[in-house]
Amino acid sequence: MATTTVAHPAPESTTEPGYVLRGHGLFELHRDELLSGYQGGGRWLVPSGTVADRLYEVRVGVRRPSTCECVGYQHHQHCSHVVAAKLASKKSALCDCCGERHWDRELVEVTEEDGLLSWYEGDRLCRECVPRFWA
């Protein structure tokens, strides 16, 4: 009996660069600090992963590239602080009532069935604002 083998291509590497992994770690360790460090206009204060009490201002860009004031970003045009700020930006939003930033899971979306005259379908309200309108 003849046997033949067919060479299969090597699987693509799925490992993330170190700065991306560190950014995910910063996000997990400092998620509450990140949310409270939101400055508005896409600006976030992100804690350093190596220096205690050091914060870096990160600008998460929509129309422009994201930037960070850390030395790593200045040299490489990427860093863990930008990764952490982008994660926080994607997983949070502004309450359409009070304007404060909250995690997505803490926001309630208004539907047509709610019958609220002050809000449009699709608006998102934080849990602190909901009782004022759903009485």
pTM: 0.79
- Helix 18-36 × helix 80-90 angle, to 10°: 50
What is the separation of C-alpha 122 from the centre of its chain, rounded to a whole number of angstroms?
Answer: 21
Same domain for 81 and 112, yes or no, is no
Q: Is the pLDDT of residue 78 over 60?
A: yes
List, for residues 26-58, the tens digit of each pLDDT value: 999 999 999 999 999 899 999 998 888 999 999
Same domain for 35 and 84, yes or no, is yes
Tally of domains in the chain: 2
| pLDDT tier at 117, thresholds 50, 70, 90 | low
Same domain for 96 and 83, yes or no, is no
Same domain for 48 and 81, yes or no, is yes
What amino acid is encoded at 132 in this protein? R
Same domain for 23 and 50, yes or no, is yes
Contact 60, 42 (CB under 8 A): yes
- Domain for residue 2, yes or no? no
Domain around 119: 92-135
Same domain for 33 and 78, yes or no, is yes
Same domain for 85 and 21, yes or no, is yes
pLDDT of residue 111: 79
pLDDT of residue 121: 84
Same domain for 36 and 69, yes or no, is yes
Same domain for 100 and 51, yes or no, is no
**Of the candidates 90, 105, 124, which is a domain's last residue?**
90
| pLDDT tier at 115, thresholds 50, 70, 90 | low
